[in-house]
Amino acid sequence: MTTSVRTHHRTCSLCEAMCGLTLAIEGDRVVSVRGDEDDPFSRGYICPKGPALAALHDDPDRLRQPLRRTSSGWTTIGWDEALDEAARRIHEVQRAHGRDALAVYVGNPAVHNLGSMLYGPSFLRALATKHRYSATSVDQLPQMLAAYLMFGHQLLLPIPDVDHTQHMVILGGNPLVSNGSIMSAPDMKRRLAAIRGRGGKIVVIDPRRTETAAVADEHVFVRPGTDALLLAAMVHVLFAEGLVDLGERAPLVRNLDALRDVVLPFAPERVEARTGIDAATIRRITRELAAAPTAVVYGRVGVSMHPFGGICHWLVDAINLLTGNFDRRGGAMFSRPAFDVVGAPPPLGLGAGSFGRWHSKVRGLPEFGGELPVATLAEDICAGGDPSIRSLVTLAGNPVLSTPNGPRLETALAGLEFMLSIDFYLNETTRHAHLILPPSGPLEHGHFDVAFHAIAVRNTVKYSPAVFPIARHQRHDHQILVGIERRLQDLRGASAATRLEIRLRERLGPERILALGLRAGPWGFGGGLRQGLRGISWAKLVAAPHGIDLGPLGPCLPARLPRRRGGVSPHIDIAPALLVADVARLRAELDADMDHPFALIGRRQLRNNNSWMHNVAKLMAGKPRCTLLVHPEDAQRLGVCTGDSVRVSSRVGTVIAPVEIDDGIMRGVVSLPHGFGHHRTGTGQTVASAHAGVSINDLTDEQRIDELSGVAVFSGVPVDIEAVS
């Protein structure tokens, strides 16, 4: 008997690129995964992680049923019992000690999951704790803060129009490996080659000559953590040399004089020593940018998890404005997504944002968008106080490996009264939980990129149905979230209206909510009656398994800017007071002492996905990748060769890692990838444990933050290095 082969088209949910996959399925097995040539966005491109979804699906280590920790180890329990217990434990701690006695951490994959995107916000609102944390504060927080302060909405993130620009400056991003971030763009190699093909230019500014730098026209080494000085000098040059031209967006821009005044001390000659970039190069780069017919500056994690992350992202946006490249073809533009997280009201969207409504209890770091910086989680747990954090919920996160000073956080986790993890792996973080609730895997639920369509370089829309149904003993993320929410509100004796609303949402499911959002969005009735009648509907989406192309990004200001508080009309603040005030800190940097031993930076690798996907044997095959890159001259000074072990020590810890000599890394800078460190005991990831590596976050320092935004600083952690004899 032969079983027939079915074909499924699906968007890969692992990174932001949203590649279309074509899967061949035989029975309950994936027999092949290829790039979908008919996907209008990715046109057949995939990276090696896409096909690994098949192995992830089959992974025997992937959890499928709830686990409860007992004195004799983990035991499997039923879902009703597990959800009851989760809600009861949350309720008990909050009733006895107040809502803030519970903390919650949400990790990156939650943003790639339709169910948790649509059901997470109400779950978090129900928990109602001020101790909310997420991967945002080890990622794009400063970028969102700049958007909030400049444009009035935390999610109004300008996207580089790579497909039309003639000149691109990339700082702190390596899209050839990361596949683009806050710039969803499958096949960046082709897109960057096209810029050069049409006579344009690409400049990469990075402490490492990256894979992206290798395909650029010019690479400029910058000392880690000094980009804000460079960007301030570029703004200085634009004003000093009369190169400012706001173009058509001029009437929307406020506070131009304040920006000109605040960068006066940052002449290129003043910043060359600190940045390591000579003044003539800074002037030339700036002039070329201003002279290009269209241009865009793009900054990502290397200038975000940075001591001046807020200032960096502000000045990136400011330069795009000052050179007339904002909201303009070939410049920095806003998307017009079919499901519009910016336009949507709170149950569906996230709201415009907020800053500093409360502060963390030890260092007094500010809330942003309802969250505190995760660099304070361990100290917030350990500080005690009233109320002290006694319980923690983690959703799709592995903060032990992904947040600064992981070991300190582990110590804090071990002291919790109750910890619940919603995750399908027993890993470095979830091993501390008392209860693990595993959701369905990526191929087992419908997929729609609520977040990434909104930050893509082209407007497209695509829905992928589940490839496999879940077994009776499995649950989806949204079912877990709303299941706990319902039980919690029942225990609290919530109003009949609240309980009815939850039951309705529980019954609707993510697809129906998505369908409503599409009808309300800018390609539905939100775009007017005529648009609504012929626009994107659920039926059209389902009938287009490869996705629907909605065309290139287009100018959309001022319509897309929100009204400001107090009825102030929509505008762009090019010099927000909070950011201007932070420049005092940057001025002190001009003459800061430079004698630290080595500066440690991270690096992404094509076959890693943060700390997970390390349990897929195919992705881990080959030479060990968790190596410390060292410049040849530094290696000579240290007396080490490739393959030798070195001891790397920071204020917070020490790791021993093998050296890889590489002339692409700047002198005085060393680099370790993040996401490794799988040697910890009590985890359930066989393959990952066999390729343990060391965790860079055993070295990163939770005390090093951007003092404005509270984001953790990974760009340039001071370390000492010595050979291990």
Ligand X SMILES: Nc1nc2c(c(=O)[nH]1)N[C@H]1C(S)=C(S)[C@@H](COP(=O)(O)OP(=O)(O)OC[C@H]3O[C@@H](n4cnc5c(=O)[nH]c(N)nc54)[C@H](O)[C@@H]3O)O[C@H]1N2
- Residues in contact with Mo ion by CB under 5 A are 139
> Which listed range, 84-92, 108-116, 586-594, 628-636, lies at the site for ligand X (CB under 6 A)?
108-116
| By CB under 6 A, residue 396 contacts ligand X | yes
Tell me the C-alpha distance between 204 and 221, whole Å: 8
**Binding site partner of 120, from ligand SF4, Mo ion, ligand X, none, Cβ cut-off 5-8 A by kind:** none
Q: Enumerate residues 6+ apart whose C-beta is below 8 A from 202.
A: 167, 168, 169, 170, 192, 195, 196, 215, 216, 217, 218
Asked if 392 and 429 count as a contact pair (C-beta separation under 8 A), the reply is no
DSSP state of 553: -
Q: Where are the alpha helices (DSSP H) in 21-133?
A: 52-58, 79-97, 114-127
Closest contact distance (angstroms) between CB of 113 and ligand X is 4
Nearest to 522 by CA among 346, 333, 342: 342
Q: In terms of CB distance, is 94 or 137 closer to ligand X?
A: 137
Q: Which residue has the tokens 């004698």?
A: 595
179 binds ligand X (CB under 6 A): yes
Closest CA to 253 of 558, 556, 563: 558
Binding map of ligand SF4 across residues 185-204, x = CB under 6 A, - = no contact: -x------------------
14 interacts with ligand SF4 by CB under 6 A: yes
Provide the token pair at 239. 């004003």
The owner of tokens 């690129």 is 17
Of 36, 29, 37, the residue nearest 5 (C-alpha): 29
Q: Are 502 and 486 in contact (CB under 8 A)?
A: yes
With CB under 6 A as the contact rule, the residue among 47, 101, 170, 237 that binds ligand SF4 is 47
Could you give the 3-state DSSP secondary structure of residue 298?
strand
- CA distances for 462 relative to 42, 172, 514, 544, angstroms: 12, 30, 12, 8
Contact with ligand X (CB under 6 A) among 22, 335, 700, 709: 700
Name the token pair of 172: 């702190």
**Is residue 135 close enough to count as binding ligand X by CB under 6 A?**
yes
Residues facing 23 on adjacent strands: 8, 33
Per CB under 6 A, contacts with ligand X among 439-468 are 439
Partner from Mo ion, ligand SF4, ligand X, none contacting 548, C-beta within 5 to 8 A by type: none
CB atoms within 10 A of CB 622: 9
Binding of ligand SF4 by 109 (CB under 6 A): no
Closest C-alpha among 558, 551, 572, 557 to residue 164:
551
* Beta carbons within 8 Å of 91's beta carbon, 6+ residues apart: 488, 491, 492
* Stretch touching ligand X by CB under 6 A, among 332-340, 389-397, 486-494, 624-632: 389-397
Q: How far is the CB of 700 from ligand SF4 (least distance, A)?
A: 25
CB of 179 vs Mo ion, minimal distance in Å: 12
> Which of ligand X, Mo ion, ligand SF4, none interacts with 660 (beta carbon under 5 to 8 A by kind)?
none
* Residue selected from 175, 370, 510, 535 as contacting ligand X according to rule CB under 6 A: 175
Sole binder of ligand X in the list 8, 191, 260, 604 (CB under 6 A): 604
Nearer to ligand SF4, 400 or 616 (CB): 616
Interface with ligand X by CB under 6 A: which range of 350-358, 448-456, 484-492, 709-717? 709-717
Chain centroid to CA 77: how far? 33
Q: State how far the Cα of 442 lies from the Cα of 50, in Å rounded to an integer.
A: 11
Q: How far apart are CA 648 and CA 600, in angstroms?
A: 9
Which of ligand SF4, Mo ion, ligand X, none does residue 14 bind to, with CB < 5 to 8 Å depending on kind?
ligand SF4
Q: Does 282 bind ligand X (CB under 6 A)?
A: no
Report what 210 binds from ligand X, ligand SF4, Mo ion, none; CB cut-off 5-8 Å by kind.
Answer: ligand X
Give the binding site for ligand SF4 (CB under 6 A).
12, 14-15, 17-19, 46-47, 49-50, 179, 186
Residues that bind ligand X (CB under 6 A): 15, 107-109, 113, 135, 138-139, 171-175, 177-179, 181, 205-208, 210, 222, 224-225, 227, 300-303, 306, 395-399, 402, 422-425, 427, 439, 477, 601-604, 606, 608-612, 674-675, 696-697, 700, 714-716
